[in-house]
Structure 1
Amino acid sequence: MKNMESVKTNVDPKSLTFKLSENVTVQKVMFKNKFGVEVAGHLYLSKDIDTSKKYPAIVIGTPYGGVKEQGAGIYGQNMAQRGFVALSFDESYNGESKGEPRHISSPDLFVEDFSAAVDFIGTQDFVDREKIGVIGICGSGGFSVTAAQVDPRIKAVATASMYDISGMFRDGFGKTLTDEQRNAMLVQMAEQRWTDFENGTPLVPEGFPRTPADSIPEGLDPVTSEFFEYYAMKRGFHINAEASFTATSGMSFMNFPLMNYIESISPRPLLFIIGENAHSRYYSEDAYEKAAEPKELYIVPGARHIDLYDGGDNDCIPFDKLEGFFKEYLK
């Protein structure tokens, strides 16, 4: 079986933040991107898969700061149960992926990781390499769109609660930055680089607590409170998901054009899934306006941003919609 030497072991179900279905198997895999960094993934297969046949495949990226054992795994499991080979992965320098120093965030690396995942999945004997789609959740939604702009092997793109991380840094995390404020951010990060160099290691700001919290602290703004609910509480807590990156990572994003050529993805399709009450919905709405046909904006009633990570209390992730989308366009 081609390239399956990179499959290590079956995944311990206890390492996941969700219940593993009895209808799938999940295996740890490792593959290198073009920079030579080993990327860690979980390969989800239906238990009744016939490996003598070829199947469509879906590559799934994590929320920005998340890991494959969380929401990306939920998507992987569900897509595998619906007849797809599914691969969720950790971005380079994060989670179980290799790369030093840890917790670097870089758009060119994270975009490349999608193409590296396509390299891996498209060389499995039981995958039809002409039928590969991607799903990007939160920040990886933006990276998946950018990857599709330059990698025509990606035949269809779906995003859920998409964040344009470059846009996030440029607009000051939802605010409108003045030129002076933007320059001040760049000066601060540039000064930090000298400090990092002198210390021999980059500063990583403190992320969410490394043990699950029982309640959301008072005084947090609504967006931070929402992320705390997922990353720092039992709902989505995982020891590898600190949701924090090196203090100078923002320099790489300031002028990186994640969405500048989104119209070039056409005639390949784009599906943007957003929660009705998501604080991030304007990123998907802006991208939808810029994209060329075929495209669709699908709104999940009542859902917040993080509810599309794990489905929330109402299992609101529209997996039937995703199944129909990819079966229509990966045929």
Structure 2
Amino acid sequence: MDRVTFQNKGNTVVGNLFRPDGFEQGTTYPAIVVTHPFGAVKEQVPTTYAKLLAEQGFVTLVFDASYQGESGGEPHFSEFPSTRVEDIRCAVDFLSVHPDVDPERIGALGICAGGGYTVNVSQTEMRIKAVAGVSTFDIGSARRDGVGPLDKQSEEYRTGLLERSGRARTREAAGGQVEMFSLISDNPRFDMNDPSTIPLMYQEGYRYYSEIDPNPRFMGTFALSSLSRQMAFFPFEGIELISPRPLLLIAGSEADTLYMSQDAIGRAKEPKELVVLDGASHIDLYWRPEYVPQVAGKLAEFFGKHLSAL
């Protein structure tokens, strides 16, 4: 593994590059950009899949989003969808000129919100030849409407959040303190003593990030000033533009975000495939040994077919 950096509009993006098993100097390989979930860092679930795909013959790149992890950008712990999308384009720039990569065989994999960003950028980034998402998450829909029926938000609540986000921006513009926001503790509809009020992905996500695969750079709360830009994001508008390049989405049958992958696939044109793993939740596909090898195998098959044959 090599620690690498590249630039996104003045921000230094920090990543890790994995080479295939049996790597030979002077040979070029197909490559895959792996984009992390909301809040995550490159060392967590992205690295799990990057390593498994490298074992199957791919150069893989994971990186911390701008404003997050080890990457630059202030205020830190901001989630800007347009910047996240541009991060992926800049990662493709990096791979396109890397001596170990065949620039005509670059694919993209996104996990959770990274899946939404990957689907979005691939609509207009033609250098990406094959597109995949795992537990794909529409962050715009989630911020506007909540996650599934359990977190259905009213128009009044949404408007109130936007007003708070605007005030946070004004405060920052005046040189004031950055206000942080928690998706769980700052939602008055969620009762921390009653898990039935909280979507399963948030419950399981808390456990994953705090107990199963903790990292000190994890973004547990984010800058409230970035919330309005998240609400303004519509990742699946224009998804039909990915065709005729192939699209694969993988989700769990018990994921409270399954409807997001179904929505995306329903809008996309062929060739497309939705793989639903029976019994799996959204977070299960991050780490559980009964599911991760299945997901990795399907991804290796997909990218092997559509990148290695080019």
TM-score, normalisation: structure 2: 0.90
8 Å contact 1:274–1:299 — kept in the other structure? Answer: yes
Separation in structure 2 between the aligned mates of residue 264 and residue 207 of structure 1, nearest angstrom: 32
Pick the aligned partner of 2:144 from 132, 153, 170.
Answer: 170
In structure 1, the partner of 2:102 is 128
Whether 2:299 is the aligned partner of 1:322: answer yes
The aligned counterpart of 1:294 is: 271
Deviation at 1:197, TM superposition (A): 3.5
| Residue pair 1:64, 1:243 contacting (<8 A) in 2 also | no
- The answer to whether structure 1 residue 241 and structure 2 residue 218 are counterparts is yes
More helix by share: 2
For 2:167, the equivalent position in structure 1 comes to 191
Q: Which moved more, 1:106-115 or 1:248-257?
A: 248-257
**Match of residue 67 from structure 1:** 41
Shift of 1:321: 1.0
- Post-superposition offset of 1:199: 5.1
Give how far 1:277 is off: 1.1
Matched to 1:205, the amino acid is F
What is the 5 A alignment of 1:221-260?
221=198, 222-233=200-211, 235-260=212-237
Query: Which runs of structure 2 are paired with 1:298-313 in the superposition (5 Å)?
Result: 298-312=275-289
Judged with a 3 Å threshold, the aligned counterparts in structure 2 of structure 1 residues 90 and 193 are, in CA distance, closer, same or farther, namely: same
Tell me if the contact between 2:201 and 2:283 (Cα under 8 Å) persists in the aligned partners: no
CA distance in 2 between counterparts of 1:189 and 1:172 reads 17
Matched, 1:181 2:157: yes
Task: Check the 8 A contact 1:231/1:242 in 2, yes or no.
Answer: no
Asked if structure 1 preserves the Cα contact closer than 8 Å seen for 2:18 and 2:60, the reply is yes
Q: Equivalents in 1 of 2:11, 2:108: separation in Å?
A: 21
Tell whether the 8 Å contact from 1:300 to 1:316 is kept in structure 2 after alignment. no
Contact between 1:101 and 1:201, CA under 8 Å: does it hold in 2? no
Moved more, 195-204 or 39-48: 195-204
Deviation at 1:205, TM superposition (A): 3.0
- Matched residue type, 1:186: L
Cα RMSD (Å) of the superposition? 2.0
**In percent, how many aligned pairs have the same letter?**
38
Task: Find the aligned partners of 1:158 and 1:200 in 2 and give their Cα distance.
Answer: 40
1:19 aligns to what?
A: none
Q: Which residue of 2 aligns with 1:152?
A: 126
- Give, as a single letter, the amino acid of the residue that structure 2 aligns with 1:78: L
- 1:180 positional shift: 3.2
CA distance, structure 2, for counterparts of residue 240 and residue 313 of structure 1: 27
Question: What is the TM-score normalised by the length of structure 1?
Answer: 0.85
Mapping 1:34-49, distance limit 5 Å: 35-49=9-23
Render the CA deviation track for 1:171-214: whole Å, top value 9, x for unaligned.
13434444333322212221222333445332123689xxxxxx
User: Aligned partners of 2:245 and 2:270: how far apart in 1?
Assistant: 8
Q: Give per-residue Cα distances to partners, 1:41-83, cap 9 Å, x unaligned.
A: 1101134201211110000001110001000001110110000
The 3-state SS of whatever aligns with 2:213 is coil
The answer (yes or no) to whether the contact 1:308–1:317 under 8 Å persists in 2 is no
Query: Does the residue aligned with 1:249 lie in a helix, a strand or coil?
Result: helix
Matched, 1:274 2:251: yes
Change (3 A) 1:63 1:317: farther
CA 1:316–1:55 in structure 2 vs 1: closer, same or farther (change >3 Å)?
Answer: closer
Structure 1's unaligned 5+ residue stretches are 1-25, 209-216
| 2:189 alignment partner in structure 1 | none
Paired residues of 1:310 and 1:317 also in contact (CA < 8 A): no
Preserved contact between residue 207 and residue 242 of structure 1 (Cα < 8 Å): no
CA-CA distance at 1:304 after TM superposition: 1.1
Matching residue's letter, 1:224: Y
For 1:93-135, what per-residue CA distance to the aligned partner results, in whole angstroms no more than 9, with x for missing partners?
1011111220111111000001111111111112110000010
Q: Match for 1:219: what amino acid?
A: D
Show CA shifts across 1:140-174 (max 9, x none): 10000111011100001110001011111121343
The higher-RCO structure (CA 8 Å, 6+ apart) is 2
Counterpart position of 2:83: 109
Q: In structure 1, the residue corresponding to 2:123 is in which secondary structure? A: helix
